[in-house]
Amino acid sequence: MEEVINSIRRASELVQNLQQDLPNLANQPETLSLSIDQITQAFTDAKEKLLLISRHTQTSESPPMLLHETTPQQPQMDATLIQEWLRSSHAVTMDQMFQMQLASMAGREVEDSERTIGSEGDQGQGIHASSSRPRRSREGNQEKKKILVPAPQFGNTEMPPEDGFTWRKYGQKEILGSKYPRSYYRCTHQKLYECQAKKMVQRLDHNANIFEVTYRGKHTCHMSSTAPSSVPPEHILVDITQNTNTISSQLSPSVNLTLHPATATAATTSARGGPSTSRYAGDYPVLDMADAMFNSGSSSGNNSMEFLFSPTEDKSDAN
């Protein structure tokens, strides 16, 4: 543990040095980049050591545990951070993840106030004043789950990392007081499977590298036997439809993302590859892979590599 602390101290020192030298380094991008790399490396070292300690503790003291079943204490925060990092396909650096953590903590205040607003209840019950176009009532009391997701550094940085579902963009809106527009997505299979899941994506004003993603509604597209993914991502459905407050009060959603071995398969990309469309065969494949690597002794009893490369399911989309 001492090594971890030393690594963190070293990283902190580097950050302080960088802050002091920032005015001088502003014209030296290469030096600046090098400095950032050093900081990143220091934090990464600390994280890796923490991970090792965490693994050791977990295997020696307690049975494997689903992450969301743990209490949001410090070790859990670390695991969350690492998971977020893994989930972003290493597209963000570890120090960005720390930024995210800070941003997320700041976001709690927003969510607290939102909770108040959300609890006002649904007043619209599908009464449409207009006859020109049938419209759905606003789902005011629908459970929401707000999360912060790092923007990829490579590829399409306009979109947050894929989240295991396929989404179709149906709108974009400039939001008052926000620098960046909010994008609206619904499940690709909304019509086919009457899937009501939706999400809104918006960059944070103060940190364009982080997306605030708000999920609403349940994914029902996995319930059908003919559904595109044969395994219902139950853990995610639960997260979306419940515990809005609980989830919001924690660091990030990944705290609550149960790693379901049965859902893990290699990731595939859309044949059409639309920028906002993500198609994972399973859910959070990167997380699953990490789970396989780090928690291979889980209660499932499956060989971790077997579940990673399970040949059992062709999860290609029904599109």
Partner DNA sequence: TGCATTTGACCGTC
Partner DNA sequence: GACGGTCAAATGCA
| Binding of DNA by 114 (CB under 7 A) | no
Minimum Å gap between C-beta 206 and DNA is 17
How many other CB atoms are found less than 10 A from the CB of residue 89?
Answer: 17
Whether 300 and 307 have beta carbons less than 8 Å apart is answered as yes
Minimum Å gap between C-beta 319 and DNA is 5
In terms of CB distance, is 230 or 270 closer to DNA?
Answer: 270
Region binding DNA by CB under 7 A among candidate stretches 26-34, 70-78, 232-240, 266-274: 266-274
In angstroms, the CA 216 to CA 11 distance is 38
| Binding of DNA by 171 (CB under 7 A) | yes
| Binding of DNA by 200 (CB under 7 A) | yes
| Binding of DNA by 20 (CB under 7 A) | no
| Binding of DNA by 26 (CB under 7 A) | no
Minimum Å gap between C-beta 156 and DNA is 10
Minimum Å gap between C-beta 114 and DNA is 10
Instruction: Tell which one of 188, 256, 258, 298 touches DNA (CB under 7 A).
Output: 188
Helix boundaries (H) for the chain: 2-25, 29-61, 74-87, 94-118, 190-193, 234-241, 244-248, 285-294, 304-308
In terms of CB distance, is 188 or 310 closer to DNA?
Answer: 188
Provide the mask over 125-154, with x wherever binding to DNA is found by CB under 7 A and - wherever it is not: x-xxxx-xxxxxxxxx--------------
| Binding of DNA by 275 (CB under 7 A) | yes
Whether 232 and 280 have beta carbons less than 8 Å apart is answered as no
Orientation of helix 74-87 relative to helix 94-118, angle to 10°: 110
Instruction: Tell which one of 96, 166, 207, 220 touches DNA (CB under 7 A).
Output: 166
Minimum Å gap between C-beta 262 and DNA is 25
Token code pair at residue 126: 């599908």
| Binding of DNA by 215 (CB under 7 A) | no
Provide the mask over 226-265, with x wherever binding to DNA is found by CB under 7 A and - wherever it is not: ----------------------------------------
Helix (H) or strand (E) holding 200: strand 198-203
- The per-residue DSSP string of 139-174 comes to -TT--EEEEEEEPPSSS-TTSPPP-SS-EEEEEEE-
In terms of CB distance, is 126 or 297 closer to DNA?
Answer: 126
In angstroms, the CA 32 to CA 125 distance is 56
**In terms of Cα–Cα distance, which of 103, 61, 108 is closest to 81?**
103
In angstroms, the CA 183 to CA 175 distance is 10
Minimum Å gap between C-beta 133 and DNA is 4
Whether 296 and 209 have beta carbons less than 8 Å apart is answered as no
CA angle 235, 246, 104 (to 5 degrees): 100
Instruction: Tell which one of 274, 296, 300, 313 touches DNA (CB under 7 A).
Output: 274
Applying CB under 7 A, which residues contact DNA? Answer: 120, 123-125, 127-130, 132-140, 166-177, 182-184, 186, 188, 198, 200, 272-277, 319
